[in-house]
Amino acid sequence: MSSKNSPTRVAISAGDPNGIGIETVVKAFADERMFTEVTPVLYAVPNLVEAALALTELSERVKWAVVDGAEKSKPNQLNVVAIQESAWELNWGQITAEAGTFAFQSLERAVQDLAATRVEVLVTCPIHKDAMKLGSFKFPGHTEYLADFANVDDVLMLLIAGSLRVGVATGHIALKEVSAALSTSLIRTKINLLHESLLRDFGVANPRIAVLGLNPHASDNGLMGDEEKRIIQPVVRELAAENKLVFGPYAADGFFGSGAFKQFDGVLAMYHDQGLAPFKALSFGAGVNFTAGLPVVRTSPDHGTGFDIAGQGSANPDSLRSALFAARDIRRNRIEHRELTSNPLEIKKKERRSDDYASRRRGE
């Protein structure tokens, strides 16, 4: 495996083969400077790569090769691991069970290699939830699947773009279910996940976290709902008493437009669109979806499958490129955090045991 400062070996799942995922991959690696930062391993089939290269007229610019497995991947090229023997029948922009099955197979192979440490981080291209359901994928999305695979109870969907980091307390659920899903326990867990991620994944020494209210105007002191007073405020006070810099709840409508978000290292929204709508308005095309709380690093672009433009060669690779860089950076930050927070006494004990073992081997 590579060292902290050498190119990071990145598993890239194909996403929906009828979408723009692989097109963004080949566009990203048309710039050969990318290979100084990452060694990509794409789980797909060769004819999909060929089709993407033809669409983008990049066949002469992208160096790529089919490899037998992630462990056979080489630097300075796009390595393609074939997930099936047969070619993929191109069907741009269509929702099909076959596409859902293909996307799931790609994801499974990538995750298995990640678990076996054949690759170091995971970047997932977009999937289409209807196609995944038709293809027998039983999870709402990548986040839930990865949490289940890693046997982790609690994770946090976190959208990042530079210093803007927005998490959501509730994820892929209907809006009418949000209020019932919120609890002091849930919000405390999500804030703690965000706090830990800011420390470990982003190198923020003393994170400042803003918590948004659920209701309009954060309920105007109870005039429009009581979730702020009953659920959110007690958690904010408890965590502040633990010397964590947690503030709120803030009225969500003016929080982003006023620029208040710039005063914080992370923001916790109460539901999906409350956080993602302003995030994408501020950073669309450069944002990254990161799953905090996993033992592994996983990022993805902040856009969907792009079925409306699939097969046209017009997809923008910027978010995919940002996801690759974010995965690399987060892995490096985790290594540095582990080194900085390790117990120096334990390190000394290990060094002494190693010296004693070496002395016995020499017969001293």
For 63-104, the pLDDT digits (tens) are 999 999 999 999 999 999 999 999 999 999 999 999 999 999
Distance, CA of 267 to chain centre: 16
Give the type of residue at 243: N
pLDDT-wise least confident of 40-49, 149-158, 250-259, 345-354: 345-354
CATH 3.40.718.10 domain range(s) in the chain: 1-152+294-364, 154-288
Q: What span, in angstroms and rounded, lies between the C-alpha atoms of 311 and 45?
A: 16
- Say if residue 332's pLDDT is above 50: yes
The arithmetic mean of pLDDT across residues 273-285, rounded, is 90
In this prediction, residue 358 carries a pLDDT of 45
- Say if residue 222's pLDDT is above 80: no
DSSP 97: H
- Say if residue 354's pLDDT is above 50: no
Backbone angles phi, psi at 337, to 5 degrees: -65, -40
More confident of the two residues 29 and 253: 29
End-to-end CA distance of the chain: 34
In this prediction, residue 357 carries a pLDDT of 40
245-250 sheet: strands from edge to edge: 64-67, 78-82, 38-44, 8-13, 121-124, 298-301, 288-292, 156-161, 164-168, 266-269, 208-212, 245-250
- Say if residue 320's pLDDT is above 60: yes
Distance, CA of 181 to chain centre: 23
Q: Using 50, 70 and 90 to split pLDDT, how confident is the model at 344?
A: low
The arithmetic mean of pLDDT across residues 259-268, rounded, is 96
Q: What span, in angstroms and rounded, lies between the C-alpha atoms of 61 and 29?
A: 9
pLDDT-wise least confident of 158-162, 171-175, 237-241: 171-175
Mean pLDDT of the chain: 91
In this prediction, residue 342 carries a pLDDT of 79
- Say if residue 355's pLDDT is above 70: no
Q: Please determine, looking at this structure, whether the domain spanning 1-152+294-364 carries the CATH number 3.40.718.10.
A: yes
pTM: 0.88
CATH of 154-288, one of 3.40.640.10, 3.90.1150.10, 3.40.718.10, 3.40.50.2300: 3.40.718.10
Strand pairing partners for 168? 269
- Say if residue 351's pLDDT is above 50: no
What is residue 211's three-state secondary structure?
strand
The arithmetic mean of pLDDT across residues 208-231, rounded, is 89
